[in-house]
Structure 1
């Protein structure tokens, strides 16, 4: 989710956080007010900053969650997902996508464009 989308969809972030808490995730960090902010990554040579939407732990393993909503900047979103996918594979963490009704097709098209074989969590 891009920065503009985060401001408009804080209720979806809260819904996702409560869903993850009910599944037993702990040490949850989220990029919203009231939670500790996850570690951000800066792209060298530019002012682009990538911050995962939600980072949580379960059974000693770190999980990165991205919230997928229709976006005005799909190229930026694709690069963010690609970076997080590579990062999680390098460090043996998990990377999941969370989406909601009305955004399934957009999410699946994005995953197909990136050749990511992921099953999104549908809330």
Structure 2
């Protein structure tokens, strides 16, 4: 989810956190009240920063989660996913996409467009 959509879809973010807690994830960091904000990654030489929607650990392994919802800026969302996927591969972490009802087809089309079709979205 991009920053412009954070306020609009805060309920989906809260539902996602509850889902992850019920699945045994710990040390959850999210960009909402009551949780620590995840680390942001900034591009050198510009003001662009990427922040995962949720960061959690399970069995000693860090997981990055991004929430996929229909967006006005799909190009920005695609580049965020590619960055998080690359970062997770470099550091032996995991990257997963969370989506909600009404956004499944959009999410799958976006994953196919950036050649991440091996990722299976978590449906909430």
Do they superpose with TM above 0.5?
Answer: yes
Query: Which residue pairs with 1:118 in the alignment?
Result: 119
> What is the alpha-carbon distance in structure 1 between the residues aligned to residue 49 and residue 32 of structure 2?
16
Gaps of 5+ in 2: none
Query: CA deviation digits over 1:27-59, x for unaligned, max 9?
Result: 000011211001100011211110000000000
1:71-86 correspondence runs (5 A): 71-86=71-86
Between the two proteins, the alignment pairs up a number of residues equal to 123
> What is the alpha-carbon distance in structure 2 between the residues aligned to residue 68 and residue 17 of structure 1?
14
User: In terms of mean alpha carbon deviation, does 15-24 or 28-37 score higher?
Assistant: 28-37
> What is the alpha-carbon distance in structure 2 between the residues aligned to residue 61 and residue 20 of structure 1?
14
Misfit runs of 4+, over 6 Å: none
Query: Which residue pairs with 1:38 in the alignment?
Result: 38
Query: Which residue pairs with 1:108 in the alignment?
Result: 108
Query: Which residue pairs with 1:27 in the alignment?
Result: 27
Gaps of 5+ in 1: none
1:30-69 correspondence runs (5 A): 30-69=30-69
Q: Report the TM-score, using the length of structure 2 for normalisation.
A: 0.97
Q: Report the TM-score, using the length of structure 1 for normalisation.
A: 0.98
SS in 2 for 1:87: helix
SS in 1 for 2:55: strand
